[in-house]
């Protein structure tokens, strides 16, 4: 079994990105990431090794997020507004264009059904393989691949 510090260092970013995909809030994702690793330490003896460590950790993270939603009775996610620091006009303009493109993409993604949305978030921001996505969502690799492809097609139609 790997050392917990090594596991934390190796998988922190993956779990945090995954949670950010679900929450769209950096503070919440960081808090839940910490809680995920706390739960993982407590439940490490239940890890059987029949899936990747990252998949197991993301499953814990997803369950924590769903529990958080239930506890707070809020199914609608609030978008966090970030502070803009003073920048040069050129950087500000470029950042604005990039941010607008990103916002438009996320708005389009929000129009998709829940499973498709989750697959797309896991793939583009979590940078997970279709096999890992299938494992996390308790589906097959082929299902994840087809869902991602169909989601991309729907996003092209939204224009």
97-154 confidence digits (pLDDT tens): 566 677 777 788 888 898 998 898 888 877 788 898 998 899 999 999 899 889 888 8
Cβ neighbours around 106 below 10 Å, total: 14
Nearest Cα to Cα of residue 123 among 115, 92, 88, 138 = 115
19-33 confidence digits (pLDDT tens): 888 888 888 888 999
Domain layout of the chain by residue ranges: 1-78, 86-159
Nearest Cα to Cα of residue 59 among 5, 18, 25 = 18
Q: How is residue 40 written in tokens?
A: 């993982």
CATH topology for 86-159 is Arc Repressor Mutant, subunit A (1.10.10)
Q: Which CATH class is domain 1-78?
A: mainly alpha
Q: Is the pLDDT of residue 79 over 70?
A: no
């Amino acid at each position: 079994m790997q050392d917990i510090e090594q596991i934390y260092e190796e998988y922190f970013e993956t779990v945090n990105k995954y949670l950010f995909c679900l929450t769209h809030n950096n503070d919440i994702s960081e808090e839940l990431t910490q809680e995920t690793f706390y739960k993982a330490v407590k439940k490490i003896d239940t890890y059987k090794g029949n899936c990747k460590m990252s998949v197991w950790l993301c499953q814990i993270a997803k369950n924590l997020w769903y529990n958080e939603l239930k506890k707070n009775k809020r199914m609608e996610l609030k978008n966090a507004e970030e502070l803009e620091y003073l920048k040069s006009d050129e950087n500000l303009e470029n950042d604005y264009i990039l941010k607008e493109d990103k916002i438009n993409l996320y708005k389009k993604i929000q129009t998709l059904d829940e499973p498709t949305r989750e697959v797309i978030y896991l793939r583009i921001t979590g940078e997970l393989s279709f096999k890992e996505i299938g494992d996390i969502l308790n589906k097959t690799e082929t299902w994840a691949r087809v869902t991602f492809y169909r989601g991309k097609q729907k996003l092209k139609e939204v224009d």
